[in-house]
Every structure is written in structure tokens, then in C-alpha cells.
Amino acid sequence: MTSTVIGGSTATISPQLLDTMNPNSASSATSSSSATDTSSSSLQQTFLQLLVTQLQNQDPTDPMDSSQMTSQLAQINTVSGISQLNTSLSSLSTQLSAGQNAQAALLIGSTVLAPGSSVTVSGGSAPELGVSLPSAASDVKLTVSNSAGQVVNTYDLGAQQAGTIPVTWTAVDSSGNAVADGTYTISATATVDGQSATATPLVASQVQSVMQQSDGSAGLSLANGSTVALSSVAGIL
């Protein structure tokens, strides 16, 4: 094994260090097939040794260009930092998911206002309804229809700001007559400057259990038979 003279001086540097700077060399090809430590920390140590040796032994009249070496060292530091950041974010995501599931478990037995399109009238009473708006609207309406698709009642809520608007339906039609027990469909519409806007109907129901959804987030199983994401709950009644 031969050594290389640096800067015209008698100081030498081993081929192992030169292989790190020149991955196309024959010795580099040989070392790549062996069980050599190529971690970012090991590469950083090797580069630092090269840099110090170069500075100590370069010819003052013909100094060596260290910009490429320091640039590669900076790139290694960047890749190492990104790897550590990804690990930290993954750990944080796991902790947040566990915390979310614990918070969701506290809702079991509570009544929540969540997205839904059907409501059940039983014993002449209906659950609380509502509308969720992502942005302010100049006019908002909530419509209740029976199983035949006939509109039994409409609530004109007028102009509303973004957020959750609770609506109490006393299980009566537009004439004030009590409706029959059964399942009814609700829909919400919103208008902004004469154009249709997004409006989500909400139905109150009791939380029966908590389950993990396919994306890892917490889901709430409701008494009305639906399952909603914890993040979609608009209110706790």
C-alpha cells in the first residue's frame, strides 16, 4: 500500500483518506465491497482529517483548493440533519396520535355535533342539528325531507359567519304540525355573492366507542350508526 505526498512536503496521507475524496478510484471500489463504516459521522471524521492534513502540509506558493471538500462536508451535514429531522417528526407523530386517541376516549358517552345527512325522530323528538361553514356566507338554509323526498321543513338562517351554527328542530313540519317518527334527510346550502358555497349539515349523536382509522387517526363510532373522524366534530353538547 502506497502513500501520497501532499503539497510537495514529506508529509503523506493514506489511500483510505484519498478514497473518501475520490470515489472513482480503484481503492475506493475495493473498499466499497468491504464492510466499511460509511455512516455520516464516520465520513465527517474522515473529511475533517483530510482538511486538517491539507492545511498543515500545503505548499504556500501553490495552495490546494479546499472548497470542493468543504462543500461535500456541508452536504453530508445537511443529509444527516434531514435524517435526524425525519426521525424526530416520526416520533412526534406517534406521540400525537397516542394523545389524540386518549382525548377521544374521554368523549365516550358524550353527545357530539358531527357531519351527517340523516336524523331519526323518535317519540316525537329529534336530535340537535346544525350547519358548518368554512367561510362566511350571505345566506344559509337547512332543509329537512321525509323518506319520500318531500320537504317537510326549511330553516332560513340568513347571513352567517364561518363556523358552526346550531339549529333546533322540534320535529314539526313547516306548518307547525308534528311529524311521524322515522328517518329524515337533512341538507344544507349556502350562498356567497349569489354563488353556491360549501355548507355541511350536522347531526347530534352520542359517542359509543373510539377506533383507529386507516390513516392512524382516531374515529368516533356514534349511536346513529355512523363513524366520524375526531377532527370533524363541530361541537360537544
List pLDDT tens digits, range 191-209: 998 889 999 999 999 999 8
> Which residues have C-beta within 8 Å of that of residue 216, sequence separation ≥ 6?
97
Q: Are residues 119 and 188 in the same domain?
A: yes
Nearest to 199 by CA among 149, 104, 130: 130
pLDDT at 190 over 70: yes
Whether 12 and 57 share a structural domain: yes
The answer as to whether 217 is a domain residue is: no
Q: Are residues 119 and 79 in the same domain?
A: no
Shared domain check, 198 and 129: yes
Please determine, for residue 216, whether its predicted confidence score (pLDDT) is greater than 70.
Answer: yes
Given 83, 100, 129, the domain boundary residue is: 83
CATH number for the domain spanning 159: value is 2.60.40.4070
- 78 and 118: one domain? no
40 domain residue, yes or no: yes
The number of distinct structural domains making up the chain is: 2
pLDDT greater than 50 at residue 8: no
Same domain, 77 and 152: no
Element (H, E) at 189: strand 182-192
Cell (9 digits) for 29: 471500489
- Give CA angle at 149 (121, 176), nearest 5°: 50
On whether residue 44 sits in a domain, the answer given is yes
- Determine, yes or no, domain membership for 89: no
**Would you say residue 61 lies in a domain?**
yes
Mean pLDDT rounded to a whole number for the chain:
78
Res 138: pLDDT: 93
Q: Are 69 and 77 in contact (CB under 8 A)?
A: no
From 68, 83, 98, the end of a domain falls on: 83
Answer yes or no: is 141 within a domain.
Answer: yes
CB of 25 within 8 A of CB of 65? Answer: no
Residues 81-122: tens digit of each pLDDT: 787 777 777 766 666 666 666 777 888 899 999 999 999 999
Residue 77 and residue 134 in one domain: no
Question: What confidence score (pLDDT) does residue 7 get?
Answer: 46
- Kindly give the pairing relationship between strand 12-13 and strand 195-197: unpaired
- The answer to whether residues 123 and 60 belong to one domain is no
Rounded CA-CA distance 122/151 in Å is 19
Q: Indicate whether 146 belongs to any domain.
A: yes
Running DSSP on this structure, what letter comes out for residue 5? E
What's the pLDDT at 105? 80
C-alpha cell at 41: 459521522
pLDDT at 54 over 90: no
Residues 119 and 161 in one domain: yes
Asked if residue 121 and residue 193 are part of one domain, the reply reads yes
Instruction: Say if residue 155 is in the same domain as residue 199.
Output: yes
* Domain assignment present for 94: no
| Domain residue limits at 129 | 114-204
pTM surpassing 0.85?
no
Residues 68, 9, single domain; the answer is yes
Rounded to whole angstroms, the Cα distance separating 113 from 107 reads 12
